[in-house]
Structure 1
Amino acid sequence: MLLQYTPVHQPALKHFGLPRSPFVDDVQSLNDVFESVSSRYARVALMDAARNHGFMALIGESGAGKTTLLEALEQRIIDEGQDIVLIKPYTLAMEANDSKGKTLRSTHIAEAIAYQLDPQLKIKSSPQGRFDQLHKLLRDSCRAGRRHLLVIDEAHCLPIATLKHLKRFIELKDGLRRVMGVLLIAQPELRNLLHSQNREVREVMQRCELVELDPLDNDLEGYIAHKFQRFDLRPDDVFEPDAFNAIRERLIHVPRGVKAGEKGSVSTCYPLAVHNLIARAMNAAADAGYPKVDAAVVAVC
């Protein structure tokens, strides 16, 4: 279930005694990041990839919290003073082929790495010379105590050729030690590609750890409590007990003949969808003069 962005309106904020929306600019410190079982594992895996030059893909639906986890990784690096360099190649309107937008090529990645480590470097024109420069930069930086993590956002839009070439970057070493890790941030299309029988991506599929963010199905109450606790409010100040199952029912599609939680049910109970549904329900409850959001209000939102 895809829901259009909905803010909590001012009358609803006043009705429920909120100084501002709990879903806008709601993550300002590491304590604001909710930890489900899957996101907790993802946070550990992200830091391990950064420290030990791993190769992983963080997979999640739109609004699942991938960007928040990446930002939390950056904040932790800052807070702990870790000498880890995050390298982010930027390509506006990145797509898998040039007919739809701009493709991110391995040469662009090499340029991004070189610029991050030495902005004044004059990059050689030949592929061999450029790759040797890159290897030396990373090797010398590692020997100085740094760690490097190449971060590619929207990696499901990578051309297959570039995806294959990532193996070359991972194989850059100083003796037996890798000199850089690779992190792909992607929607499920990347998982589907790597799980396919496409032999072109087998070298990536066999080396890349896929870490997937699960929906909040069983963590919904805890997630909502965490959000409202940041305002010193309890969920039962805003929600009737039956509201939580109603939210789940709106965001989990269970085909006929399939029980909730079984294979075949499809959940969109991710943070962004939860935010938009709750905002709609809070607005509706305030407009109707209901003291709290209940299942009946959620059902019509």
Structure 2
Amino acid sequence: MLVLKSLMQAHGIEQSAIAAVARVSQPTISQLVNHAVWPKRRTAEIRQSISDYLTGRGIDAVAAFEVVRAAETTRTDVSQQANEEGDDNMLLAKQVLLPATKKHFGLFRDPFADDALQSADDVFTTPDIRYVREALLQTAKHGGFVAIIGESGSGKSTLRRDLIDRINSERAPVVVIEPHIIAMEDNDKKGKTLKAASIAEAIINTLAPLEGIKQSQEARYRQLHRVLKDSSNAGYSHVLIIEEAHSLPLPTLKHLKRFYELENGFKKLLSIVLIGQPELADKLSERSMEVREVVQRCEVVNLPPLGMHLEAFLKFKFERLGKPLADVLDASAIDAIKARLSHDLGGKRGVISLLYPLAISNLTIAAMNLSEKLGVPVVNADVIKGL
């Protein structure tokens, strides 16, 4: 990896900030800082943009690009390296299925749109996704502490919505608590951090909305414990869900252990679900001494790319609308999508895969729009290559 990664951590710089400065995707920056792999295009321009940004913050830009040997990580998914990397020419911006394209393919709705998800039956599953779904439901019902980690567009938010839908449809006695995370950052210099006090307020407001929040810290946390116990005695379990958890500051991550340890006799009062991008895995690393007690209690689950499930994913999406996949894409197009969203680094570093639902959806929609424009009846490999 590059010295740049250590400098970013030391100065509280997120990968998203570097990506914005360099005008590339976040996976591209992840590839750069973690494995010293530069994008194939605009290399000199990207390096200069990052250098100017670092210099403006008083950081030695020359030292930032020195390569050091990366320490090994300990994560549950051996394909995590692939999840963290990418090439800026492999991803497309958000795509919209045009009306003319819908008419061309005989579709009345966008199979990839958010409103296509109406129930749990609309959620595509693989063995990995089924495990995560059940882990989330069991955590919500019976207790636990789990972190779901995946790249942007890997389906994390869909799994959160699916969990809440299943709780509601099963009429399970589970109260879902979701603190507001708008503009949340991991330090107070960049924005508003989510602190333990705010989490406590979210719990009290959810369970006892008519109660005023106690002013003193001691009284507030006694109030928190009481409302949780009252709700537990009434037969309810509680799950705290924090999205964008990669933006949680380390002190708040550390305090989550104390929330998790709240009890009513033998029963844990609060389950915790963290949902975040790969930076969360760095914060929950066993090498991080500051949060080691949290790491010991938290199960970390990574969402892998779809890989061999690409065709099944596309078939599922179109058949939910009554459209056979073969009427939209031929076999060569599926192979071309897989090739476009994969990148062989060579040697022991293997293949980077960006076969996540959002990337697949955007590429497929763009190809469908281009097919309509060209008058091609079915998307084929040549259309994919023409994007």
Local SS of the residue matching 1:102: coil
In the alignment, the residues of structure 2 paired with residue 242 and residue 152 of structure 1 have an alpha-carbon distance, to the nearest angstrom, of 41
Confirm whether residue 56 of structure 1 aligns to residue 157 of structure 2: no
Confirm whether residue 185 of structure 1 aligns to residue 271 of structure 2: no
Q: 2:198 is matched with which residue?
A: 108
Unaligned runs of 5+ in 1: none
Contact residue 38 and residue 212 of structure 1 kept, 8 A: no
Q: 2:108 is matched with which residue?
A: 19
Confirm whether residue 246 of structure 1 aligns to residue 336 of structure 2: yes
Q: 1:83 aligns with which of 148, 169, 173?
A: 173
Once the two structures are TM-superposed, the CA of residue 27 in structure 1 deviates from its matched residue by 0.5
Contact residue 91 and residue 102 of structure 1 kept, 8 A: no
In the alignment, the residues of structure 1 paired with residue 109 and residue 140 of structure 2 have an alpha-carbon distance, to the nearest angstrom, of 35
In the alignment, the residues of structure 1 paired with residue 347 and residue 238 of structure 2 have an alpha-carbon distance, to the nearest angstrom, of 49
In the alignment, the residues of structure 1 paired with residue 136 and residue 350 of structure 2 have an alpha-carbon distance, to the nearest angstrom, of 29
Q: Say which structure, 1 or 2, has more relative contact order (CA 8 Å, 6+ apart).
A: 1
Once the two structures are TM-superposed, the CA of residue 51 in structure 1 deviates from its matched residue by 0.5
Deviates more, 1:56-65 or 1:8-17: 8-17
In the alignment, the residues of structure 1 paired with residue 304 and residue 358 of structure 2 have an alpha-carbon distance, to the nearest angstrom, of 13
Contact residue 217 and residue 269 of structure 1 kept, 8 A: yes
Q: 2:384 is matched with which residue?
A: 298
Q: 1:7 aligns with which of 91, 96, 103?
A: 96
Q: Give the counterpart letter for 1:157 in structure 2.
A: S
Q: 1:195 is matched with which residue?
A: 285
Once the two structures are TM-superposed, the CA of residue 54 in structure 1 deviates from its matched residue by 0.8
Once the two structures are TM-superposed, the CA of residue 196 in structure 1 deviates from its matched residue by 5.4
Q: 2:236 is matched with which residue?
A: 146
Question: 1:153-188 CA deviation, whole Å, 9 max, x = no partner?
Answer: 100000100000000000000112101101101011
Contact residue 240 and residue 272 of structure 2 kept, 8 A: yes
The number of residues matched between the two structures is 297
- 1:22-33 residue pairs with structure 2 within 5 A? 22-24=111-113, 25-33=115-123
Question: 1:10-47 CA deviation, whole Å, 9 max, x = no partner?
Answer: 22211111112211221011110101121111100000
Moved over 3 A (4+): none
Question: 1:107-161 CA deviation, whole Å, 9 max, x = no partner?
Answer: 0000110111111212222222221111111112111100100111100000100
Confirm whether residue 285 of structure 1 aligns to residue 374 of structure 2: no
Change (3 A) 1:297 1:108: same
Give the superposed CA RMSD: 1.2
Deviates more, 1:10-19 or 1:110-119: 10-19
Contact residue 196 and residue 252 of structure 2 kept, 8 A: yes
Contact residue 101 and residue 368 of structure 2 kept, 8 A: yes
In the alignment, the residues of structure 1 paired with residue 208 and residue 347 of structure 2 have an alpha-carbon distance, to the nearest angstrom, of 60
Confirm whether residue 210 of structure 1 aligns to residue 300 of structure 2: yes
Q: With structure 2 as the length reference, what TM-score do the two structures score?
A: 0.75
Q: 1:235 is matched with which residue?
A: 325
Identity %: 47
Q: 1:42 is matched with which residue?
A: 132
Q: With structure 1 as the length reference, what TM-score do the two structures score?
A: 0.95
Q: 1:137 is matched with which residue?
A: 227
